[in-house]
Amino acid sequence: MTWKNRIVVDGLDRDAWLAARRNGLIGASDAAKFAKASSVDKYLAAKLAASSFSGNAYTEQGHRWEPLMLAYAGIPQNLALIHSPTETGFAATPDGLRENPDGSITLAECKAKHGKVVDGPNTGEWRQLAWQFEVVPEANAIEFLWVELVQNARGEWDLRAAHRGIPHRLVVTRDHPKIVAARELIVPIATDLLPRLRVALSYERSAA
């Protein structure tokens, strides 16, 4: 089963994508928060809590700069929600996905850093990357791309001039020590959380 056969929704309809995410799936944004195995009850409560969040000024900036970062890396944008070949409840939507001539896949994760100078992924972002490797085992690398933004006199966010407008780029492989460590942490948590989530959602539907 290829990644194309594992597409849950193509992402062209944002409401359908959100509905699929709410339907008992654990995604990369969830995995980014998995810090302690003892906190599964907290993660379950967060998944069950109704959310009306649809974005803010920071997420809008991320969407604004994502095409630039993907174009710089030569990776097509991806909107599809893809599930793991071994567990349909594990899913992710990598920002970019490129099929290489040798049959392997390179993913992309794009970030807009507001008022920050960083040298790579933070802890939560390492977990996101590790989750994408878990969900898309065909991928041999993920290009982590980021731009650093500063506010101008009008309060708008512009690219920090020090890097001449060029996105930062770090190629992460699945055998990177931080990826290995992150997967060892988050996969058991997700494996514990998923059946609890499914039971809770089933109960909610039957009670509705």
**SS3 state of residue 169:** strand
The confidence score (pLDDT) of residue 54 equals 43
Is residue 70 a contact partner of residue 111, using CB atoms and an 8 Å limit? no
pTM, two decimal places:
0.89
Domain ranges within the chain, ordered by starting residue:
3-207
Specify the pairing of strand 139-151 against strand 105-114: parallel
pLDDT band for position 117 (cuts 50, 70, 90): confident
Compute the distance between CA of residue 74 and CA of residue 69 in angstroms, rounded to an integer.
9
The predicted-structure confidence for 43-92, as pLDDT tens digits, reads as follows 999 998 855 434 444 455 446 789 989 999 999 999 999 999 999 999 99
The predicted-structure confidence for 118-151, as pLDDT tens digits, reads as follows 889 999 999 999 999 999 999 999 999 998 887 6
**SS3 state of residue 70:** helix
Average pLDDT value over all residues in the chain: 88
The confidence score (pLDDT) of residue 60 equals 52
Please state the length of the chain. Answer: 208
H or E element at residue 125: helix 123-135
Domain 3-207, what fold?
Answer: Lambda Exonuclease; Chain A (3.90.320)
pLDDT band for position 191 (cuts 50, 70, 90): very high
Percent of the chain with pLDDT over 90: 68
Compute the distance between CA of residue 56 and CA of residue 45 in angstroms, rounded to an integer.
23
Compute the distance between CA of residue 184 and CA of residue 186 in angstroms, rounded to an integer.
6
The confidence score (pLDDT) of residue 99 equals 95
The confidence score (pLDDT) of residue 53 equals 38
